[in-house]
């Protein structure tokens, strides 16, 4: 007699309202001429080699690029924004307060950030955004507790983080390694999904869009993936010294180099200065919902240049710290996270402000 098969009903997800993004701006802005890297070419060795050249040139010149055909359809991307919106609109304030990140004491952004947390010389406290930072493991409740309304969607978010990590970041890391003439897995081996480190998403820029300027010098980690959304605000400082806007491309990724990769490459790849501005007049009043994947190297990865690179030997390296005392990713991450926006900075003659984190001079462009 054949075995009897019991079919379990598929879980029924609760209703999730559709997120309606703002229409793209119709204003004539000066757009940054960022290269577009088509991951559809990544299926052959020849295509990979072409992409590696494009990506490495972009990260040396701008520190930014776009990625298209990254593996998620428009519908899948829209679904992630639906979930991201619910993280802010469907979670009551008292639950958000209970899940606020204690970043000063833990050196981690995991959790919600309360408004009026950070201070700066030109950034009013009341204007900074609230956001949720989530560890990439997502459904590992020992690492992080989540709001009750988000629980049913954790499997989708876990799949999303895995796609970012293995489908976007790892291929790009291989390209950057090839561009330095070192084994392709060099940087991949420093970015293990299940080893201790930090990666996070998403973020609401509802209030940040109202600030005059929020200037950033790269990010703390190695690679940042921004899922493109239509409210304009992000600008980068181009090689000619001019600020230009980053254009929205439907279902594209805007990817940039962070401090960690600049350290590992000895400055060969650049963490470009960028800032968030008020949106154009025809987008004023629209909320800006951002979905990011901030990538960190493994906590024990030492952030010193890969001096075995023949490319670095020819180009020279520009380490920002004593190589014998190079910080690990965890030391640098927790140091910057704990101090950012709450520590007193040393003002310089050029208008910037500095602090030293584990032997690394961190410059703030406020």
Nearest Cα neighbor of 331 from 304, 296, 357 is: 357
DSSP character at residue 249: -
pTM for the full model? 0.80
Alpha-carbon span 258 to 272, nearest angstrom: 8
Residues 212-238: tens digit of each pLDDT: 444 455 578 899 999 999 999 999 999
Give the relative orientation of helices 170-179 and 45-61 as an angle to the nearest 10 degrees: 80
pLDDT recorded at residue 13: 82
- Pairing of β 111-112 and β 353-357: unpaired
Alpha-carbon span 170 to 163, nearest angstrom: 10
Q: Using an 8 Å Cβ cutoff, are 256 and 246 in contact?
A: no
Q: Which CATH architecture has domain 36-364?
A: Sandwich (2.60)
Residue reference for tokens 């009043």: 285
**For the chain, domain boundaries:** 36-364
pLDDT recorded at residue 277: 86
pLDDT recorded at residue 139: 54
Confidence of residue 102 (pLDDT cuts 50, 70, 90): low
Alpha-carbon span 362 to 366, nearest angstrom: 12
In this model, does residue 123 exceed pLDDT 70?
no
In this model, does residue 45 exceed pLDDT 60?
yes
In this model, does residue 138 exceed pLDDT 80?
no
Burial class (CB in 10 A: 0-12, 13-18, 19+), 177: buried
Residues 267-287: tens digit of each pLDDT: 999 888 888 888 999 998 888
Compute the average pLDDT of residues 16-24. 94
Alpha-carbon span 320 to 235, nearest angstrom: 25
Our measurement of the distance from residue 200's CA atom to the centroid of its chain's CA atoms, rounded to an integer in Å, reads 8
């Amino acid at each position: 007699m054949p075995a009897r098969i019991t079919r379990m009903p598929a879980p029924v997800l609760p209703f999730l309202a559709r997120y309606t993004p703002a229409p793209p701006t119709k204003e004539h802005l000066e757009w940054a001429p960022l290269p577009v890297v088509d991951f559809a070419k990544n299926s052959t060795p020849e295509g990979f080699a072409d992409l590696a050249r494009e990506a490495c040139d972009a990260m040396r010149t701008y520190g930014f690029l776009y990625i298209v055909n990254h593996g998620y359809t428009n519908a899948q991307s829209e679904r992630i924004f639906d979930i991201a919106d619910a993280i802010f609109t469907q979670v009551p304030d008292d639950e958000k307060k209970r899940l606020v990140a204690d970043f000063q004491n833990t050196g981690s952004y995991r959790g919600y950030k309360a408004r009026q947390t950070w201070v700066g010389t030109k950034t009013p406290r009341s204007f900074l955004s609230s956001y949720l930072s989530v560890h990439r493991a997502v459904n590992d409740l020992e690492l992080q507790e989540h709001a009750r309304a988000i629980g049913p969607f954790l499997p989708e978010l876990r799949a999303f983080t895995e796609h970012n990590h293995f489908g976007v970041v790892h291929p790009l890391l291989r390209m950057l390694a090839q561009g330095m003439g070192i084994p392709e897995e060099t940087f991949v081996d420093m970015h293990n999904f299940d080893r201790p480190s930090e990666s996070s998403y998403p973020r609401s820029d509802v209030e940040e869009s109202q600030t005059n300027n929020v200037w950033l010098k790269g990010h703390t980690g190695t690679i940042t993936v921004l899922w493109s959304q239509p409210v304009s605000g992000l600008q980068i400082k181009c090689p000619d010294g001019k600020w230009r806007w980053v254009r929205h491309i439907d279902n594209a990724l805007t990817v940039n180099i962070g401090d960690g990769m600049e350290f590992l490459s000895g400055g060969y790849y650049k963490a470009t200065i960028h800032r968030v501005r008020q949106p154009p007049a025809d987008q004023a009043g629209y909320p800006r919902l951002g979905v990011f994947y901030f990538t960190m190297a493994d906590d024990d990865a030492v952030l010193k240049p890969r001096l075995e690179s023949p490319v670095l030997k020819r180009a020279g390296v520009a380490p920002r710290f004593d190589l014998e005392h190079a910080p690990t990713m965890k030391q640098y991450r927790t140091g910057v996270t704990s101090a950012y926006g709450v520590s007193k900075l040393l003002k310089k003659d050029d208008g910037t402000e500095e602090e030293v984190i584990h032997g690394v001079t961190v410059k703030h462009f406020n």
